[in-house]
Amino acid sequence: MKRPALLVLPAALFLLAFFVIPLIDNGMRSFEDGDGGLTLSRYVQLMTDRFYLRVIGETVLLSAGVTVISALIGYPVAYFLVRKAGKWSGFVIFLLIAPLMTSIIMRTFGWQVLFARKGLVNNLLIDQLGLITRPLRVLNTPELVIAALVHVLVPFMVLSISSVLQGVDRRLEESAQMLGAGPFRTFWEVTFPLTLDGIGTGAILVFMIANGSFVTLILLGGGLQTLPLLIYQQFNTTRDFGMASAMSTILLVIAVFCLWLQLRLVRRRGA
């Protein structure tokens, strides 16, 4: 065996043992009928039952919404970080990375502390400022769940966009301005198209993480029903491991489709 292959062997064995084999086992379990045979009944149910179709749709819409909001918030931050921060860029990067060092559970509990009936926000608005007479009902709402997910995932979008934005040649923007383009047109027709790869990478990261997120939904509620929540219930409540495996496979298919879509877009742009 050649030396390059020996260098790759530990990583390949690790992926085989802790990624490929578990995925294959999970997929096979979703086809077992309990009597030693194979069945497609679980997938037929997931793809035809209105309840499961609504849950799949809600999962995709929630992930897509979080991705779009993260992009809208993250792009200005990334632009400021690369073009305007200057000597403060290190501090801005620290502010982005520092939350990632904290458990997602702690960050989610922080939203409960802020917006509980007797939390900091309601106490400030009622007792200190006297602006309202009744506590705001913010907990257990879809809006708070989306805000909490964006809070957790927007750093991935910012870092993905900023890494690509740093590679944009400023001379291209200067050339556009010399030819008569204003600042907005220069950004829209020169800078923004050159950073689409960063947006795509960030979107894939945010979408896939949001697609599999369930801790935030469990802690903050909101009435949202997604596949990760159903998988958690199947494993811990009904103990239907076969259905949980089928749902996990559906989630994997959604993630693989997103990766395939990004690859197609990148190849099309490269062509």
Alpha-carbon distance of 199 to 18, in angstroms, equals 30
Alpha-carbon distance of 170 to 178, in angstroms, equals 12
76: in domain: yes
Which residues, at least 6 apart from 264, have a Cβ–Cβ distance to it below 8 Å?
none
261: in domain: yes
52: in domain: yes
66: in domain: yes
* Residue 271 pLDDT: 43
Distances (CA, A) of 31 to 41, 149, 249: 8, 33, 11
148: in domain: yes
Identify the residue whose tokens are 């918030």: 73
User: Domains in the chain: how many in total?
Assistant: 1
- Host domain of residue 181: 40-84+141-268
Stretches where the chain sits below pLDDT 70 are 1-2, 266-271
Alpha-carbon distance of 269 to 260, in angstroms, equals 14
Q: Which CATH number do you get for residue 74? A: 1.10.3720.10
Write down the pTM of the prediction.
0.86
Alpha-carbon distance of 166 to 82, in angstroms, equals 6
160: in domain: yes
7: in domain: no
Q: What is the pLDDT of residues 65-94, one digit of tens each?
A: 999 999 999 999 999 999 888 888 888 888
11: in domain: no
